[in-house]
Amino acid sequence: MPRDEGFKEVRRGLRILRKRADAGQREFADRMLAICELMREFRPVDLGTIENGAWEIISRELVPALADIEAGSRIKNIKGIDDRIWVESLKNRLQNLILKGDVLTGQLEENSREYHIVRREIAEIKRATAILDEMSGEAILERLEGYLKDGCIPVNDPEKEFKEVLDVNPMDYTALINLLSFFEQRERDEELIEIGTQIASYYPEDLVARAKLIDALIRVSDYDKALELAKDGIKLSMDHDPSDRRAWNRYVSREDFDNFIWRVNRLRELESSHGEDLDPEVYELLKTTLRGSPAIEDVPEALSTIEDDLAKRAMIYGMRHVDPRIVGLFAGKIVECGEKMVPYLKDEIITDGSLNKRNRVIAFDCLSKMKGVEAAYNLLLELLESDDEDLASTAGLGLGFFGDKRAKERLLEKREQMSGEYRLRLDLAVSLLEEGSGT
């Protein structure tokens, strides 16, 4: 939205200018009126760069700058788009904002969050001023129109542009998160760790960033730091306020942090033994699985070809990663392997995974996708008889997704023994069997 300051007067002045005979003046008036309309519908996309902030400021201050002209020399005297009158008026407003910002930073506690926010805005205003100096009036309007239509200026050099923000505001959340993702995508762990550590310090409630940091620390074998962050993550996860919707997309469950701790402890045991009494190939694949190095993408396939008990268990371990892509790689291969993986899934559900519902759910999901595998069906039926209602009802839901109608009668009987959430799960299981084709 344009600033209200003088908006009506500006539009009136532009309409008067449009009626003048000079083609250049009419073009200027038409372009400015069109920009005013774009401003009404404008919804910025916060990419977190100085460049985007500069154009947001230009769009915000343009109408007030034109209002200043209308109140003085009058808009009708502007000769055309490249007449520097309107550009200089806009620059004057920006210079005044810089002066006010300098005064404000002098009043704020240095290195406070507010201090850095003001410094960031001053940097954006200075960049906006430089844009006005560098570009012609036509180029400014053309770029401004594109910005207002797209909601942003594309980020051409993410690392450079986000670091520019952090130079003036090291606590800028958007820039930190974007840099974290940038380094993650490029597998630059050392830099990811540097940025992730800052996020964990400034914004400990961001559990997704914390999880990415822990993963990177495990990859570089900094186990002590990974454990410290994971243990703190458990507490932060348990203190999470479910009613705070803003935090949901940055939430990671305590079970995921439990898995981080388990992975670190298992890696330490494995490395201290130097793989004694283990097949060398399995040893390396197991380390890669637990560590989560880039080579992990090839691990599920390699493990599935080895007829070794530890290789099969390693496939289960792969599902304990927090990254859903990695979990999917291992889970997909487990389902593909079918019957020979059923005993290991049972162990994960009943033994290793008994205190970790997240692992249990993933294991059940694998069983439910093993369509036509009798061993998987029988295990789900067996677990349906558990005295643990959570375990039994989850098994029942797995039977519903498995789709074998032979289970319907037993599901109905078991449903009558349950109440609340557990009964609802079995209601859904029965519905799935009734709606599906079944066998």
Q: Can you tell me the distance from the alpha carbon of 396 to that of 326, in angstroms, rounded to the nearest whole number?
A: 27
Q: Can you tell me the distance from the alpha carbon of 338 to that of 92, in angstroms, rounded to the nearest whole number?
A: 72
Q: Can you tell me the distance from the alpha carbon of 229 to that of 205, in angstroms, rounded to the nearest whole number?
A: 12
* Cα 280 off chain centre by: 37
Q: Can you tell me the distance from the alpha carbon of 300 to that of 311, in angstroms, rounded to the nearest whole number?
A: 9
For residue 331, how many other CB atoms are within 10 A of its CB? 21
Q: Can you tell me the distance from the alpha carbon of 63 to that of 10, in angstroms, rounded to the nearest whole number?
A: 7
172-240: CATH class: mainly alpha
pLDDT at 333: 97
Q: Can you tell me the distance from the alpha carbon of 228 to that of 362, in angstroms, rounded to the nearest whole number?
A: 26
pLDDT at 1: 43
Give the contacts of 371 (CB within 8 A, at least 6 positions apart).
402, 403
pLDDT at 353: 46
Long-range CB pairs of 189-197, under 8 A, 24+ apart, other chains included: 189/216, 189/219, 189/220, 190/220, 192/216, 193/217, 193/220, 193/222
401 with 370: CB under 8 angstroms?
Answer: no
What percent of the chain has pLDDT above 70?
95
pLDDT (mean) for 115-131 = 95
pLDDT (mean) for 105-127 = 92
pLDDT at 244: 65
Residue type at position 419: S
Q: Can you tell me the distance from the alpha carbon of 209 to that of 192, in angstroms, rounded to the nearest whole number?
A: 10
Distance (Å) of CA 142 to CA 22, 35, 139, 187, 371:
21, 10, 5, 37, 58
pLDDT (mean) for 70-82 = 83
Q: Can you tell me the distance from the alpha carbon of 119 to that of 29, in angstroms, rounded to the nearest whole number?
A: 35
**326-364 pLDDT tens trace:** 999 999 999 999 999 999 999 999 875 456 889 999 999
Q: Can you tell me the distance from the alpha carbon of 386 to that of 369, in angstroms, rounded to the nearest whole number?
A: 21
Q: Can you tell me the distance from the alpha carbon of 152 to that of 227, in angstroms, rounded to the nearest whole number?
A: 40
pLDDT at 2: 46
Instruction: Compute the radius of gyration of the chain from its Cα atoms.
Output: 30
At residue 301, what are phi and psi to the nearest 5 degrees?
-65, -45
Average pLDDT value for the chain: 91
Q: Could you tell me the pLDDT band of residue 248, with boundaries at 50, 70 and 90?
A: low
What percent of the chain has pLDDT above 90?
76
252 with 211: CB under 8 angstroms?
Answer: yes
What would the DSSP string read from start to end of 43-99?
-------HHHHHHHHHHHHHHHHHHHHHHTT-GGG--STT-HHHHHHHHHHHHHHHH
Q: Can you tell me the distance from the alpha carbon of 1 to that of 295, in angstroms, rounded to the nearest whole number?
A: 49
**379-425 pLDDT tens trace:** 999 999 999 999 999 999 999 999 999 999 999 999 999 999 999 99
Residue type at position 237: S
**161-177 pLDDT tens trace:** 999 999 999 999 999 99
Q: Can you tell me the distance from the alpha carbon of 364 to that of 247, in angstroms, rounded to the nearest whole number?
A: 28
**176-235 pLDDT tens trace:** 999 999 999 999 999 999 999 999 999 999 999 999 999 999 999 999 999 999 999 999
Q: Could you tell me the pLDDT band of residue 438, with boundaries at 50, 70 and 90?
A: very low
**268-301 pLDDT tens trace:** 999 998 878 889 999 999 999 999 987 899 999 9
Which residue reads 């098994």 in tokens? 395
Residue 33 has which token pair? 């009126």
